[in-house]
């Protein structure tokens, strides 16, 4: 059966046609099979190919505890039935199918998990069916990757276009009340602006290197954090342990805005996502060996291992399906400065970001 599916894929020219024909073939040959979905994680948004309309659905977020979310983060097959503790199945009235089980199969290529298949069935798939789904996903992995996930510029420009498209379609949506339309338009505008900003930073960063006191740069960033906390009516416990006379050669604006502030912004978003009330952050600077080091430690609960592994990859955020390439930009900037950006993290506790500047005479 896999040979037949491979032949089908070789006689079609687009991913939509491959998915549509594969879905149609499986329905004809497997009594339990209902339909399938393919998630392509481009960072923002996550795309989903469906067999029914053969279109890409835009602005679809994969929930953290969903079957697809766990599959993509852990890079392993997930078989979930009615008793699953994961966020379970999309309701039958939405999908139009009698779904009892979902087998999620990761899309993984060149050491990168970039999406997953979901095979939806009305009974538990047999071992033969499970192996077929697994083999089919493995066969299609490189085909999908080469079409959808191989270039940062292409991914980001697609995301910008799609966010703008959402805003345009919202203007013409007659079924949406005025308040909801305003919310969606504002979100689309903000996301489009953020993506454009990140893209420009990633592709056209220029540096003006001068000597600065790293503590002064850090204190400026801490002031922005305090202002953010005050505006949002949150109390953040801030502690500082700063050594003196720590001069570094750097682009002050790039370090302040794109490295330090990006880190603080990610920490803040983690607090927000977890609706965390007790917010604590510690700053430390010191000189050791041939480096001047800045450490930023939060209590945001740590970074999930699957996210931590690719934290500095473009279009990957600490939110798992988050929007930007901010941490990738920060990593890129520190490498340009001949420095290092790293972190240690502990689940249920927090993360320490470690920024190292070489001492240059």
pLDDT tens digits for range 31-70: 989 888 888 765 444 555 655 544 444 444 566 667 887 8
pLDDT tens, residue by residue, 291-316: 999 999 999 999 888 778 777 764 44
pLDDT attached to residue 342? 92
Cα separation values, 224 from 132, 300, 356, Å? 54, 19, 22
pLDDT tens, residue by residue, 170-218: 666 666 777 877 777 777 666 666 665 555 555 555 677 899 999 999 9
pLDDT attached to residue 269? 83
Structure tokens at 346: 């502990």
Relative orientation angle of helices 261-273 and 326-336, to the nearest 10 degrees: 150
Cα separation values, 215 from 244, 248, 268, 359, Å? 8, 10, 21, 15
What is the chain's mean pLDDT, rounded? 77
pLDDT tens, residue by residue, 115-162: 888 888 988 999 999 999 988 888 887 777 766 654 555 555 556 656
Q: What CA–CA distance (Å, rounded) separates 40 from 321?
A: 11
């Amino acid at each position: 059966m896999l040979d037949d599916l491979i032949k089908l894929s070789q006689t079609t020219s687009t991913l939509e046609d491959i998915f549509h024909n594969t879905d149609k073939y499986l329905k004809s040959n497997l009594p339990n099979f209902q339909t399938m979905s393919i998630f392509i994680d481009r960072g923002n948004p996550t795309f989903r190919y469906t067999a029914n309309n053969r279109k890409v659905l835009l602005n679809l977020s994969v929930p953290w505890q969903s079957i697809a979310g766990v599959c993509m983060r852990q890079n392993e097959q997930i078989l979930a039935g009615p008793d699953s503790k994961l966020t379970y199945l999309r309701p039958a009235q939405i999908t139009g199918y009698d779904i009892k089980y979902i087998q999620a199969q990761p899309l993984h290529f060149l050491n990168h998990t970039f999406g997953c298949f979901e095979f939806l069935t009305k009974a538990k798939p047999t071992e033969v069916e499970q192996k077929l789904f697994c083999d089919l996903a493995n066969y299609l992995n490189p085909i999908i990757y080469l079409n959808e996930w191989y270039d940062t510029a292409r991914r980001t420009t697609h995301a910008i276009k799609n966010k703008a498209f959402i805003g345009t379609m919202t203007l013409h949506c007659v079924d949406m009340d005025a308040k909801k339309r305003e919310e969606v338009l504002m979100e689309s505008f903000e996301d489009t602006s953020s993506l454009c900003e990140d893209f420009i930073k990633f592709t056209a960063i220029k540096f003006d290197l001068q000597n600065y006191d790293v503590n002064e740069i850090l204190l400026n960033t801490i002031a922005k954090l305090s202002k953010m906390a005050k505006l949002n009516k949150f109390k953040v416990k801030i502690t500082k342990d700063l050594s003196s006379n720590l001069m570094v050669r750097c682009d002050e604006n790039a370090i302040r805005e794109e490295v330090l502030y990006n880190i603080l912004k990610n920490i803040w978003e983690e607090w927000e996502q977890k609706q965390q009330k007790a917010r604590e952050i510690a700053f430390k600077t010191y000189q050791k060996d041939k480096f001047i080091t800045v450490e930023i430690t939060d209590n945001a609960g740590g970074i999930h291992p699957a996210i931590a592994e690719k934290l500095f990859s473009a279009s990957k955020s600490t939110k798992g399906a988050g929007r930007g390439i901010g941490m990738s930009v920060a990593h890129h900037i520190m490498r340009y400065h001949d420095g290092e950006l790293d972190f240690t993290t502990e689940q249920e506790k927090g993360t320490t970001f470690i920024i190292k500047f070489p001492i240059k005479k």
